[in-house]
Amino acid sequence: MSESEVAFAPLTSVARRLKDGEITSLSLTRLMLDRIKRLNSTLNCYITVREDEALAEAEGLDRLLQAGTYLGPLHGVPIAIKDNMATAGVRTTGGSRILKDWRPDADAHVVARTKQAGGVILGKVTLYEFAYGGWHDDYGPETRNPWDLTRSCSASSNGPACAVAAGLAYASLGTDTGGSVRLPAAACGLTGLKPTYGLVSRAGVLAAGYSLDHVGPFGRTVADVAAYLQAIAGPDLGDPASARRPPKDFAADLEGGVSGLRIGVPKAQPNELIESEMRAAFEAALDVLRKEGAKLIEVELPDHLLSRTCMWAISASELAESHREWLATRASDYSPTVRGLIKQGAFLPATEYVRAQRVRQKIIAAYEEVMKRVELIAMPVVPFPAWKIGSADVMIGQVQENLMAGLTRYCPPFNITGMPAIAVPNGFNRDGLPLGFQIAGRLFDDATVLRAARGYERATDWRTRHPPLQ
Amino acid sequence: MVPKFNVTPELVARFAEMFDVPMSKEDLAEIPTQLAGGFSGIADLWRVDVTGYEPATILPVERSAEK
């Protein structure tokens, strides 16, 4: 295999070869570190690289395998972690100036689980400041999209998506408060899962809006994401929202296909703006699902913009509460964008927060009704592809739309409801930029979401393309 | 009743003083406009009939064990 073929192989493929003794963790880790050295100055996706530690851990994991000890589905696989997840003894910045020198004493639950499953943590990757709305210039120029270096990897888990898309890690972990796993996955041609709220612990992860925050994996294939989810899912007393139920076997039914599954397709909503190529790619994805045997059913969903407003009111309030002390003592250390967003939250009266929570309950009830008739919902992820870095607005046809408003059109309903949702690549536009759509499912039925995504993936070959990086 | 939010730089400054929200001159120049946009969406929340919907918990998913 060429270097490129090895670097862009799926996690599950290298994990199998590692287990069979065909390759070593040390060779994979060296390959990733070499590529990071070569490409990170262009892409700017790693904040901290654990070169010596990762090599030592890889050697140790190889020795364990040789001795017959297999830790789990990530054994020996090089992984990247978003820098809002605590890593013991390793700088965890949150993409901020405020935490630029923070070295936590303990690992976040998901980081510990990654290590327990045998993952080699290559380093910590970039994000919007505190995973909320804006880039902090202390971390250099914003992370570049490997498919087009003038464009963004989207928000806020830009580093986790960039690292996997560029062949600088085999998988990564990100967080999703209003779409921040699914949006970068779509912008970078990857698969990204926002699991059911409560399925994956957020203990040790910096909160953005804690009643909306989720941790989720990025991978090159649905099986990669399922494997990583298996490694991190399950109850944890350290997270007040962690569900007290054992995780299922997410790979068991992965090849079950979509035949017979009922997939809800939302009716077009008033004022819905989406680029024609994105709409066409979504329609084509629906055709594939139909041909594979899924039954598509038109469903009426609550106004997506209502979910977006709820998401904003709730997350801004929760963020402002948790940042109140720093806002008083370190205000000038925030980027202007994030400082402004936190302050907006500080101006929201409790009355509006409670109203948003009541509307949220109504939205949840409406989705519960819809989910009695279907197992899944298919929707676009975003109305436009990766945008030019520095843009504040985007053009959708002849209409100019605020970037952040457009970004948060389709993803927030599943943060509001807690439903699992996965972004899957579904094509490229005329400029060669990746496109994606999402499949959401019933609470704690992440397995069916993964099965449907795999059913679509199996019928297409979008996942096999990689960015033209040297 | 849909509230009419009145966001002006003067009122934002007074609210900030009352609730101890630190505000620089730059903030005062930018935040009123941003808030006006945010609050126009918030007003929509008051157009929804939420009779019968009360958040038993602010977390969206119940935590009890699977039956």
Does residue A9 or residue B19 have the better pLDDT? A9
Q: Which of A152, A154, A180, A242 is catalytic?
A: A180
- Rounding to the nearest 10 degrees, give the CA dihedral for residues A111, A117, A118, A122: -30
CATH number for the domain harbouring residue A247: 3.90.1300.10
Chain B nearest-CA distance from A420, in A, is 11
Q: What is the pLDDT of residue A470?
A: 66
**Bridge partners, residue A200, by sequence:** A233
Is residue A41 within 8 A of residue A85, CB to CB? The reply is no
C-alpha A157/C-alpha A363 separation (Å) is 26
Show the tokens assigned to A336: 């202007």
Mutate to test the interface with A, among B7, B58, B64, B66 (most CBs of A within 10 A): B58
Residues A305, A306, A307, A311: is their CA dihedral positive or negative?
A: positive
C-alpha A342/C-alpha A325 separation (Å) is 12
- State the residue for tokens 């898309």: A165
Show the tokens assigned to A103: 């070295």
Name the closest residue on chain A to residue B64, using Cα atoms. A244
C-alpha A256/C-alpha B21 separation (Å) is 54
* A359·B26 Cβ contact <8 A: no
Q: What is the mean pLDDT of residues A210-219?
A: 97
Domain boundaries, position A39: 3-297+370-464
Instruction: Please report the ipTM that was assigned to this predicted complex.
Output: 0.85
Task: Strands of A312-398 (E only): list them.
Answer: 376-380, 393-396
Q: What is the pLDDT of residue B61?
A: 64
Residue B37 has pLDDT above 90, yes or no: no
* B60·A354 Cβ contact <8 A: no
CB distance from B47 to chain A under 8 Å? Answer: no
For A3-27, the pLDDT digits (tens) are 999 999 999 999 999 999 999 999 9
For A384-397, the pLDDT digits (tens) are 999 999 999 999 98
Helix (H) or strand (E) holding A354: helix A350-370
Tell me B58's DSSP state: S
Reply yes or no on whether A96 is catalytic. Answer: no
Q: What is the mean pLDDT of residues A262-284?
A: 94
Reply yes or no on whether A180 is catalytic. Answer: yes
Number of domains in chain A: 1
High-pLDDT (> 90) share of chain A, %: 95
Is residue A187 within 8 A of residue A386, CB to CB? The reply is yes
Is residue A439 within 8 A of residue A452, CB to CB? The reply is yes
Q: Which among A347, A348, A361 is the nearest to B54, CB-wise?
A: A361
* B66·A444 Cβ contact <8 A: yes
Chain A nearest-CA distance from B48, in A, is 7
Reply yes or no on whether A156 is catalytic. Answer: yes
Q: How far is CA B37 from each of CA A246, A380, A402, A413, B14, rounded to the nearest angstrom? A: 43, 25, 11, 20, 19
CA A322 and chain centroid, separation = 23
Nearest to A413 by CA among A311, A270, A267: A311
Nearest to A128 by CA among A400, A274, A310, A315: A315
- Is residue A317 a part of any domain in this protein? no
CB distance from B28 to chain A under 8 Å? Answer: no
Residue B1 has pLDDT above 90, yes or no: no
Tell me B4's DSSP state: -
Chain B residues within 8 A of A445 when measuring between CB atoms: none
Is residue A250 within 8 A of residue A446, CB to CB? The reply is yes
Helix (H) or strand (E) holding A384: none
Residue B66 has pLDDT above 70, yes or no: no
Q: How many CB pairs under 8 A join A and B?
A: 112
**pLDDT band for position B67 (50/70/90)?**
very low
Q: What is the pLDDT of residue B59?
A: 67
Name the closest residue on chain A to residue B42, using Cα atoms. A309
Is residue A209 within 8 A of residue A196, CB to CB? The reply is no
- Is residue A359 a part of any domain in this protein? no
C-alpha A242/C-alpha A109 separation (Å) is 11
Chain B residues within 8 A of A443 when measuring between CB atoms: 61
* A244·B60 Cβ contact <8 A: no
Chain A nearest-CA distance from B14, in A, is 11
Q: What is the pLDDT of residue A270?
A: 81
**pLDDT band for position B62 (50/70/90)?**
low
